[in-house]
Structure 1
Amino acid sequence: MKPLARLRLDPKGKASVLEADPSLGLEGNGLPCALLVQGQDPFGRPLCSRCPVQRELRRGAYRASTPLLFKGRRLRCQGYREKDGFLVELYPERAEPPNLLLELSRLTQHLLQSPEKLPEALEDFLRTLRQALDMEAAELFLADPEEHHLILTAYEGLHREAFLEKPWFQLGEGYPGIVALKREPLFTHALGKDPRYLRQKVKQLGYQTYICYPLELPQGLIGVLNLASRDPRLDHQEPLETLSRIAPLFASTLYTLLTRLGEVGLQALHQHLYRGEVSEARLAFLKGIQRLSQATGVRLVARGGERWETGFVPPCGMQDCPCWKGKVVGHKNGLPDCPEAQGRPRICLPLWARGEVVAVATLFHARPPRPTTRPAAPTLWLSRLAVPFLFPPSSQERADAPELEIYALGQFRVRHRGKELTSKTFGRRGAFQFFKYLLANKDRALYIDELCETLWPDLPPERARQELYTQVYHLRKTLPGIVEREGDYYRLKLPEDRFLDFERFEELMRKADLEEGLSAFKTLRQALELYKGPLFGDDPYGEWAEAERSYLQERALSGLLRLGELAEALGYLEVAKEAYARALKLEPYLEEAQRRLALLKG
């Protein structure tokens, strides 16, 4: 049905009238929407000044609506998110059901721009679908990438708790599993008497009509869409025809989005590994899962017992976990119980590669999402491409973390054999500072007298020597073999299996110096990603590092200018602007960067 009026709102809520029925008398552009429409709620109170549609859209919903009174007429205000604002449409209160293909197109556009809004957007679409087809409940089960399970990802409607009684099905199990296995729709008007339907609470509430439809593509099954009603006389033909029209587009939208999640996860992993940041790659992978699932903490356990963790993660042995046999388990969420789970709710997911479970991911939530299994399927799709890379067939091929990892560009961080070290780990803060000094002079032999005069100039010679010996003792205790003494001087002895961000930065910069065009552009971007700030940026007044700090900053500045020039030549103008702006943050009065940035901005 054509709307009575269509308005486009900018991010500040100012409206432009695209079209309007003359009877509405909507005139004027550039006014706030609230001032233009001046709608009221059913009780005659001002509504537009506290517009619920804009409120929901600003919170991230792709669609929102509310009834309103406009000059005595009962209308429905319906809004959609757009790239640079909102689209608002006014309909009669009792309008025809929305065009579901158009709604699905808007959902697709929204998700391509904001994939992190997947759960909320899916629920918004299910609400529209349910209301358009006069159903009481709608639910979406997504298949895991291996097509072993169907996991409840979105639910909208009445009696939520009853439908969450069993949020996980194997193929062939229950209505969703049967439809997934046969790839054919299934419906009934006598749900209470059908033994194939396994959620008893739903039956007890009197639900009779149930329609289950597969979401299928040539690549395979992506999920199952279900609709339910307590009315046994409801005609199933119209919903089936509607689902047959929207299912292909809905399935392709979901597959595209979920596949893109996997590509993004793999890309983040590769970027770190190319720079040699193995532990950072693992941490980025875990944080990607945590961000997508909105979990309090995430744990990843490999077959060999290796563990990666981020956030708050309660202890768990993971020895007898059914996930190793390919099952999805959990705690306090309707999933099969994990035998070792205690305390907070969790979801344990098997991660597959080459037809076997190679790791288990556990998601912890302080406040479980609704449904509690909502993040499970997106997490599995995010992990799909990265897991085979993290867990290759041969242990020799695996990207193991170096024995010693040091990040000194910006905030100083040290990892030894995967464990984070702090100043407390070294026993004395002085040993931590002494280690920084040695790193700043890692290629030099440092005479004892020179060390004493530089680090403890106010102490008597003998007292300074004793302080030096003490710091060396604590440093060797924390990092065995890291310092060696030869006669009257000390030398830093770094292991061969190491990663130093400033060392890798210089390697990539030298590589870029020998390259041209796109190859140099890519290498420079990788190198400059490592430069997160001045050398030992958390110790800016350490004069002992000033020479090396200045040298690395000059390298970064020249690299940013060259990156900007290459980006301009290749047509990547936004990258060029970013490079020049970043150079100006390092050196605010750099004339070349100022000039180039001004030209690009016009």
Structure 2
Amino acid sequence: MEALARIRLDGQGLVREVEAEASLGFRAAGVPCAHLVQGKDPFGRPLCARCPALRELKRGAYRASTPLVVNGRRLRCQAYREGEGFLVELYPERTKGPDLLREASYLTQHLLRHPEAFAQGVQDFLRALREALAMEAAELFLADPEGRHLFLTAYDGPHREAFLERPWFALGEGYPGIVALRREPLFTHALEQDPRYLRERVKALGYRTYVCFPLELPHGLIGVLNLASRDPEADHGAVLEALGHLGPLLAATLYTVLTRLGEAGLEPLGTALRRGQATEATERFLAEVRRFSQATGARIVGRGGRRAELGWLPPCGMRDCPAWRGQVVGLKTSLPDCPEAEGRPRICLPLWAHGEVVAVGTLFHARPPKPPTAPAAPVLWLSRLAVPLLFPKEAEGKEAPELEVYALGGFRVRYRGRELGPRDFGRRGAYQLFKFLLANKDRAIYLEELAETFFPELPPERARQEVYTLVYRLRKTLPGIVEREGAYYRLHLPEKRFLDFEHFEALMRRADLEEGLSAFKTLREALELYKGPLFGDDPYGEWAEAERAYLQERALSGLLRLGELAEALGYREAAEEAYARALRLEPFLEEARARLLALRG
């Protein structure tokens, strides 16, 4: 429905622009919004002078609303943050719910400007989602970057404590874990009879309809969105249709904001590390974590005993904490309790780099957030780019890696010094399976996904048996390379390994933090590894397309930057070669063509 009035305000709340029905009589500009609207509450008392909507926006919300009466008409005031100012809209009291795509757009703009308001912004969006879809409860679970756990990050609705009964799930566990694993929506109208749903207090409150939807990107899953209602007749079809349109945009927003958080922290971190100031770099990282999570104190402890703290935290030795084994634990937070901790609530997070836990981080809140796991996943995303720099892998000496994989431009495998071909895997399908797992090395693969990918023409049971055979052959050739965890498989790479695409990405990230000659050298080293597209011997393998496109985009951006650096350093021939190579990879890359023509006169 079209708004009856649309009023744009500056950052001080003064009217800049007014569009309104003539019957409302709104014409003034340059005055406070309260003077223009002069709304009252249902009891006839002045409301706009103490406007609850603007109050919420000034506290950090991206949206807020309130009922009011204007000239005897019962209306609803809906307000948004818009750039440096605000947008106020007036609607009839009884109108349809908010436009969800518009809400997602405002959320995106808000979080990109104010990432520290992540928790509040997401909760406000969940409230709009409930209103639009006529559901009682909405919750967002975010996945950690390693794809092992899902954390309840935001909740809106009644009966909060019941939904907080279980604020985290492992992959494949409970409704969120099942949806994250299968990447397919799940719904029910008989929640009380479904043993897969693990929060008994929610069932006891009479919730019947539950819709669980994956938030997926081409390269992985960022989270799961859930909606619940006590109405067994709630229209799940309308909910799924709306989430089908909204899901990709919301997933992209969450991923972009969380990734930009990590990238924003790299610049000061990289500056300190280049100066050899590892302690200062660690303290800057902790300051960013503490600011973003609103924690009273933050601590990080490395495997070698290196330790840093910021703010006040309860004491803890952190020697035998299960977080060292990759578990997320806490104390009085509904997470699994750490046996080493005592006293006040906290969360301990495993910090991963190079395929292993290299440090453990602790967050302490004097007033625990609700949900208590709200900062867990965002902090892990914030940490994922910084931790490998803070805790670089120790040199392995001259000992050859156990496993070597060259997948850029072709595919070659060496295991314990011996080169392996398709015949060494017993069946060519096992060779292909290894490629597929490498392309998805950071996530668990559901058995059914493998069956559908490799044997789409076979009946399901026969396809599963064929997958078992391929896994057996692969394990026989590369012992221990595949782990089975319940209904899914995960690639288990040896610690002493060399994957050319993994090393390429590590060097590109290092170059992102460097400048001048140092960046030039690192980029050349990285781009020497890029012999061509990922699995170039299998160009039609759709299962590798997302990772293949990502690595090529990294190579193209690296070649353009290499050319710029070469020009600045006076290496004309190196600049020409970089631009020419970029054009060989992408013939229609106009930026490279223009620079090459400029160099050649």
Letter in 2 for 1:16: R
Q: Secondary structure in 2 aligned to 1:90?
A: strand
Which residue of 2 is the match for residue 166 of structure 1? 166
Name the aligned partner's letter for residue 127 of structure 2. R
2:151 match: 151
1:7 is the counterpart of 2:7: yes
Range 276-285 or range 205-214, more displaced: 276-285
When structure 1 is superposed on structure 2, of 14-23 and 353-362 the one drifting more is 14-23
SS at match of 1:31: coil
Which position in structure 2 is the counterpart of 1:219? 219
2:312 paired residue number: 312
C-alpha separation in 2, matches of 1:30 and 1:60: 24
| Cα-to-partner distance string for 1:207-248 (whole Å, 9 max, x where unaligned) | 110000000001200000000011111111000000000000
Q: Does residue 1:391 correspond to 2:425, yes or no?
A: no
Q: In structure 2, what is the Cα distance between the partners aligned to 1:42 and 1:374?
A: 36
Is it true that 1:374 corresponds to 2:374 in the alignment? Answer: yes
**What's the counterpart of residue 19 of structure 1?**
19
Q: Which amino acid aligns with 2:389?
A: F
Name the structure 1 match of 2:335. Answer: 335
Q: Aligned with 1:109: secondary structure?
A: helix
CA separation in 2, counterparts of 1:291 and 1:30?
36
Q: Does 1:207 align with 2:207?
A: yes
**Which range moved further: 232-241 or 265-274?**
265-274
Separation of aligned partners in 1, 2:31 and 2:387: 52
Q: Deviation string for 1:452-477 (max 9, x for gaps)?
A: xxxxxxxxxxxxxxxxxxxxxxxxxx
CA separation in 1, counterparts of 2:373 and 2:395? Answer: 32
| AA at the equivalent of 2:126 | L
In the TM superposition, residue 290 of structure 1 has moved relative to its aligned partner by 0.8
Q: CA deviation at 1:348?
A: 0.5
Counterpart AA for 2:50: R
Q: Is the 8 A contact 1:62 1:121 kept in 2?
A: yes
Percent of aligned positions that are identical: 68
Paired position in structure 1 for 2:363: 363
Matched, 1:114 2:125: no
1:320 is paired with a residue of what secondary structure? coil
How much has 1:309 moved relative to structure 2?
1.1
Partner of 1:187: 187
Distance across 1 between alignment mates of 2:12 and 2:393: 54
1:136 and 2:162 aligned: no
User: What's the counterpart of residue 198 of structure 2?
Assistant: 198
CA distance in 2, matches of 1:197, 1:395: 46
Return the offset for 1:275.
Answer: 3.1
Kindly provide the amino acid, as one letter, of the partner of residue 205 in structure 1: L
2:87 pairs with 1:53: no
Gaps of 5+ in 1: 398-517, 523-569, 571-602
Instruction: Tell me the distance in 2 between the aligned counterparts of 1:396 and 1:267.
Output: 28
Q: Does 1:177 align with 2:152?
A: no
Q: Which is greater in Rg?
A: 1
Q: 1:306 deviation in Å?
A: 2.0
Alignment-derived partner of residue 270 in structure 2: 270
Indicate the SS of the match to 2:254: helix
Deviations 1:409-444 (A, max 9, x none): xxxxxxxxxxxxxxxxxxxxxxxxxxxxxxxxxxxx
Q: What are the equivalent positions in structure 2 for 1:518-597 lying under 5 Å apart? A: none
Aligned to 1:372, the other structure's residue is in SS state coil
- Give the C-alpha shift of residue 83 in structure 1: 1.6
Partner of 2:352: 352
* 8 A Cα contact 1:150 1:168, kept in partner: yes
Q: Distance in 1 between matches of 2:166 and 2:304?
A: 32
Structure 1 residue 387 displacement after superposition: 1.0
- Please list the CA deviations of residues 464-500 of structure 1 after superposition, one character each: whole Å capped at 9, or x if unmatched: xxxxxxxxxxxxxxxxxxxxxxxxxxxxxxxxxxxxx
Q: Name the CA distance, whole Å, in 1 between partners of 2:59 and 2:236.
A: 35
Q: Which amino acid aligns with 1:45?
A: R
Give yes or no for contact 2:138–2:155 (8 Å, CA) kept in 1. Answer: yes
Distance 1:117 1:16 in 2: 26
1:395, 1:158 → 2: CA distance? 53
The 2-side partners of 1:193 and 1:267 are apart by 52
Show CA shifts across 1:116-166 (max 9, x none): 100000000000001111111000000000111000100000100000011
Partners of 2:31 and 2:291 lie apart in 1 by 38
Contact 2:321 2:340 in 1 (8 A): yes
TM-superposed deviation, 1:323: 0.9
- Corresponding residue number in structure 2 for 1:300: 300
Counterpart-to-counterpart distance in 2, 1:519 and 1:216: 38
- Preserved CA contact (<8 Å) 2:67 2:93: yes
The Cα RMSD (Å) is: 1.7
Cα shift readout 1:60-102 (whole Å, capped 9, x = no counterpart): 1100110000000000011111122111000000012111001
Q: Which residue of 2 aligns with 1:461?
A: none
CA displacement, residues 336-362 of structure 1 (integer Å, 9 cap, x when unaligned): 011011111100101111221111101
1:249 and 1:312 map into 2 onto residues whose CA distance is: 38
Deviation at 1:519, TM superposition (A): 6.2
Separation (CA, whole Å) in 1 of partners of 2:184 and 2:58: 39
Using the alignment, how far apart are the partners of 2:235 and 2:79 within structure 1?
Answer: 30
Distance 1:275 1:317 in 2: 30
Q: Which moved more, 1:40-49 or 1:383-392?
A: 383-392
Partner Cα distance (1:290, 1:84) in 2: 26
| Cα distance, 1:191 vs structure 2 | 0.4
- Could you tell me which runs of 5 or more consecutive residues in structure 2 were left unpaired when the two chains were aligned: 398-514, 520-567, 569-601
Amino acid at match of 2:220: G
CA contact (8 A) 2:81 2:110 kept: yes
Within 1, Cα distance between the matches of 2:104 and 2:379? 23
Check 1:147–1:114 CA distance in 2 against 1; reply closer, same or farther (3 A cut). same
- Offset, 1:395: 6.1
Cα contact 2:18–2:29 (8 A) shared by 1: no
Given that 1:17 and 1:27 are in contact with CA atoms closer than 8 Å, whether structure 2 keeps it comes out as no
Match of 1:242 in 2: 242
2:18–2:26 CA contact under 8 A, matched in 1: no
One-letter identity of the residue aligned with 1:112: L
Q: What is the letter of the counterpart of residue 94 of structure 1?
A: R
- Normalization by structure 1: what TM-score? 0.65
Give the whole-Å Cα distance in 2 for the aligned partners of 1:386 and 1:335. 25
TM-score (norm 2): 0.65
Aligned residues of 2:137 and 2:229 also touching (Cα < 8 A)? yes
User: Match for 1:338: what amino acid?
Assistant: C
| Alpha-carbon distance in structure 2 between the residues aligned to 1:390 and 1:15 | 49
Secondary structure class of the residue paired with 1:357: strand
Q: Paired residue for 1:39?
A: 39
Contact 2:62 2:107 in 1 (8 A): yes
Runs of 4+ in 1 over 3 A off after TM superposition: none
Question: Could you tell me which residue of structure 1 aligns to residue 94 of structure 2?
Answer: 94
SS of match in other structure, 2:253: helix
Whole-Å separation in 2 of the counterparts to 1:302 and 1:240: 44
2:265 is paired with a residue whose SS is helix
Amino acid of the structure 2 residue aligned with 1:29: A
- Would the aligned equivalents of 2:281 and 2:390 in 1 still touch at CA under 8 Å? no
| 8 A contact 1:331–1:347 mirrored in 2 | yes
Q: CA deviation at 1:396?
A: 9.1
Q: Is the 8 A contact 1:265 1:386 kept in 2?
A: yes
